[in-house]
Amino acid sequence: MTAAALAAVCGLALPATAARAGTSGYAPPAAEWWMTSWSVPQQVWPVTQGAGTTVAVLDSGVAATAPDLKGTVLAGTDTVTPGGDGDRDYAPAPGHGTLSAEMIAGQGTGGGPVGLAPRARILPVRVDGPGPASPASVPAGIRYAVQHGASVISLSFGIRYQSATFCEPPVQAAVSYALAHNVVVVADAGDASPGSKGLVEPASCSGALAVGGIEPTGKLWAHSTLAPYVSVAAPADRVPVTGPAGQPGTASGTSYSASLVAATAALIRSRYPKMPWYQVDQRIIGTTASVPPAENNDYGFGYGYGILNVAHAVNASKYPVPASAPNPPYIRYVAWLNTMNGQAWAQANGVTVPAPGGVSGNSGSTTLPAQVRKLLTRGHLLAGGVIAAIVVLVLTAALLLILRARRKRRLAGPADPAWPAGVPGSPDAPSAFETPEAFPVPVPDTEAEPEAETAQRPQDSPGT
């Protein structure tokens, strides 16, 4: 598809060849339609490009020799075939893990893709390919990533859940291990047949930031899994790729949505290095752009709380998010910690379990639903697996009721005039939350600290 044709499909006014580089030194191809709709070269890269962060890509491996990843890929590991270092992609060309990594930190060499966080480093961890990931390879990969300096983990795969708790205990324990070490965990919501509500892990695991997918128009991508654990949506369709023979093409999948959200987390962590993982999640969720009015029927199931808005997410001073804003990953993580399984894991790992009655982020509430609190206080009467399942089910039902009520309010009101037609996540779209309130869990004063990354000089490169 030509740049002009893609611009027509996206409803965007794009240059004929590439988006403006601004002061960043990077010029993404016009086919990366999200770069223009988010004004990345002009509003994001002048303040943060992801320097100083490491994003672990758990996937089919990453081709470290790919021109667009030159200088960005660290030595990793292979949890499928012991002894490997993750620098080979076992998926068919151009490689699933390689493209996921390019969405995060591609360099645009030779006109290829430029990643959303081009100065971040990629830690390749192979957990699947050619077969699917497993509850054995994934936990080992997550723990390796944490132990080797990742500040963000991108889980661009899905396993159909088989556990009553919606997440295999070893996978949940590994996700919790990452969170306990202050690592942001991002997972794709899953790719399914249109309208499917089949759940997948690790997106369904408590504490994971699950991401759905959209098309260039802002419409929900037809194959994005509808699930109550989805927190945010990001581009999933018409992702530009280069085929084995160098021919241009496109790819689709919520794996790439997760990659873009993981890159956003890296941008935030680069600018605010002391911001804890749950506040990074809350910023991403709390600065989302409104869903197109015609798409409200899927609100809360495919979109989560809205469409990723990178320019707002990386600017805490201009776009503050109140501490009481929704934070489903944190709520679900605390709920799991308060189950018998979670308490046993926390005790074994020296993790303090927050009191269930003092959790913020439940759509403005400062407490968990009463049903959940009651179950938690009676947890000693039930087996660990049963109580965990009940807690997750009740919590999911409560979140569904909240989202359904919000959807009804949105449908009853007038169409959102701030939504620019065909431009998902426009930096000028309204933030979802604007009323500041106190957060009951102590967090560092990130706004008062000097920012770790300032505007980059055009001559800066990943190696500097």
Which residue is catalytic, options 255, 324, 360, 431? 255
237 is catalytic: no
350: tokens are 């020296």
Q: What is the rounded CA–CA span in Å between residue 330 and residue 434?
A: 20
Q: Which SS3 state, helix, strand or coil, does residue 14 take?
A: coil
| Catalytic site residue from 96, 163, 188, 204 | 96
Dist. CA 104–CA 92, nearest whole Å: 20
User: With contact defined as beta carbons under 8 Å apart, do 437 and 361 qualify?
Assistant: no
Distance of CA 458 to the CA centre of its chain: 28
Cis status, amide bond into 202, omega within 30 of 0: yes
E strands in 101-238: 121-126, 152-155, 159-160, 184-188, 200-201, 209-214, 230-235
The end-to-end CA distance of the chain, in Å, is 35
Can you tell me which residue has the tokens 């087996």? 383
CA distances from 428 to 129, 319, 419 (A): 40, 11, 9
255 classed as catalytic: yes
Q: In sequence order, what are the residues at sequence separation of 6 or more whose Cβ sits closer than 8 angstroms to the Cβ of residue 220?
A: 212, 213, 214, 233, 295, 298, 302, 303
Active site residue 223: no
Tokens standing for 323? Answer: 């501490």
CA–centroid distance for 220 within its chain: 16
Question: Which of these is catalytic: 59, 78, 191, 237?
Answer: 59
Considering just the CA atoms, what is the radius of gyration of the chain in Å? 20
The residues that are catalytic are: 59, 96, 255
